[in-house]
Structure 1
Amino acid sequence: MNKTTICIIDDHKIVRQGLKGLLERMETYEVLHEFESGVNFLNSLPLEPKPDLYILDYSMPFKNGLEVLEELQAKDADIKVLLLTQNFDESIIDEAYYLGARGFLHKNCTAQELKATIDNIIKIGYNNVSEILKRVRQYENKPTNGSNIQLSEREMEFLTLVCQAEEYTYDQIADIMGLSVKSIEAYRAAIFDRYDIKSKVGLVLFSFKNQLTPPFKKDAD
């Protein structure tokens, strides 16, 4: 059985040890990497082997979880991050999802809740899609109008592939489009800059909000 591989970033050793022990007792997870600060984690990128999921604490010295998440997304927008915290501030949750977090849990969650959340992120891509859509739409207060969106044919093709249920990586999208990964990154960066998008999740929400591509486009078959 292939195990889901995990990286834990938390400044409390007892939390890291407890979380690692809990996960590995479930027998479907393997903790590959542990870091006591977001700074040390970011300085160690890229990780080898690359984990399937990053469990990231919000409250850490020097850089909090949101700052780490933003830098991590800039380096690799295909990563899956679960934010784990004791601070259940609504604005923190909203911004975490806006920056690309795939799920959010309070540190007093049960083992069953933790397992369900991890499994949803790995199998579906997100823990709660409707919750993320609701929160990011509220967080993004800039009005947009789909009729004012200007994308080239290739940019639209790229965005369409990003929004597919298969959740293609950028490498896979490059293969499908017959382009280099560098070209795909250029399309991503151009759309990010033009429409102030911060993450791959943000690209999907951008298409959803403006009904640009299937399965969000109204006239899609």
Structure 2
Amino acid sequence: MSEISTTSPSRINLLLVDDHQMVIEGIKTLLKTDPVVRVVAQANSGDEALRRLRDHPEVQLAIVDLNMPLMSGVELTRHIRAGFPGIRVMALSMFHDHASVMEVLEAGGSGYLLKNTTKNELSAAIRDVASGRTHFSQEVGQTLLQNLDVPSQRGPAAEQPVELTTREKEILQLVAQEKSNHDIAEALFISERTVETHRKNILTKTNCKSVIGLIQYAMKHKLITS
């Protein structure tokens, strides 16, 4: 979800993780005619997935089933983001309850698709997430909007979004892409201290407590798009 244009990779290498091999085969079938996407590794458990990542440094995006035994998809997402920070993670699940979606976001996931997704949405989501954006199924986006954890929604002022400067809007887009202060500073040709000041100002203006709350706020007021 971003209004800042990013260049889509010419090739996107995937790791598929699901404890049901039939699901993996189904995803591979959906993607086999996609000229950009290539499944280079697959795994049926979290431990196996981490081994595959060590064996396949070319992986750019992991699509992870949430409901796996021994190591859940959320746990695996945390491990991937900690051990392989250059790899993006997108969750795949049959469920889109608020708690599950928030767990994925807090673990560092950049997308959340339902298992009934279409071929076109799957391809679009892969491109979005691999390009540094986020992507949620429509139902998942609605779940986030219906369960906003934004204190500022109380009171008359909550009906209108706060006024952000052009620079603050630019920084908000990059924050939503999980960019670090260093990355944002380089992208906008400003200092890290300036980025940190803007981030604090944005949180203060929106009365949000965390980046997750900020993203929810931005989605509600269409400051970024899902």
Tell me if both proteins adopt one fold, taking TM over 0.5 as the criterion: yes
Structure 1 residues 110 and 135: alpha-carbon distance in aligned structure 2, compared to 1, 3 A threshold: same
Q: Does 1:12 align with 2:20?
A: yes
Question: 2:88 maps to which residue?
Answer: 80
Question: 2:162 maps to which residue?
Answer: none
Question: 1:89 maps to which residue?
Answer: 97
Give the TM-score normalised by the residue count of structure 2: 0.58
Give the TM-score normalised by the residue count of structure 1: 0.59
Separation of aligned partners in 1, 2:172 and 2:40: 28
State whether residues 98 and 139 of structure 1, in contact with CA within 8 Å, keep that contact through their aligned partners in structure 2: no
Q: Measure how far apart 1:21 and its partner are.
A: 2.2
Q: SS where residue 117 of structure 2 aligns?
A: coil
- Once the two structures are aligned, what percentage of the paired residues are identical? 25
Question: 1:101 maps to which residue?
Answer: 109
Q: Deviations over 1:187-207 (max 9, x none)?
A: xxxxxxxxxxxxxxxx96599
Alignment match of 1:54 (pick from 62, 66, 76): 62
Q: Does 1:28 align with 2:36?
A: yes
Q: SS where residue 32 of structure 1 aligns?
A: strand
Q: Per chain length, whose mean CA-contact separation is higher, i.e. which structure has more relative contact order (CA < 8 Å, sep 6+)? A: 2
Q: Measure how far apart 1:70 and its partner are.
A: 1.3
Structure 1 residues 207 and 16: alpha-carbon distance in aligned structure 2, compared to 1, 3 A threshold: closer
Separation of aligned partners in 2, 1:88 and 1:42: 25
Separation of aligned partners in 2, 1:76 and 1:206: 25
Structure 1 residues 12 and 169: alpha-carbon distance in aligned structure 2, compared to 1, 3 A threshold: same
Question: 1:123 maps to which residue?
Answer: 131
Amino acid at match of 1:65: G
Q: Point out where structure 2 has 5 or more consecutive residues left out of the alignment.
A: 1-8, 152-169, 187-209, 217-222
Show structure 1 runs of 4+ deviating over 4 A: 138-141, 160-165, 167-170, 203-209
Q: Which moved more, 1:28-37 or 1:115-124?
A: 115-124
Q: Point out where structure 1 has 5 or more consecutive residues left out of the alignment.
A: 144-159, 177-202, 210-215, 217-221
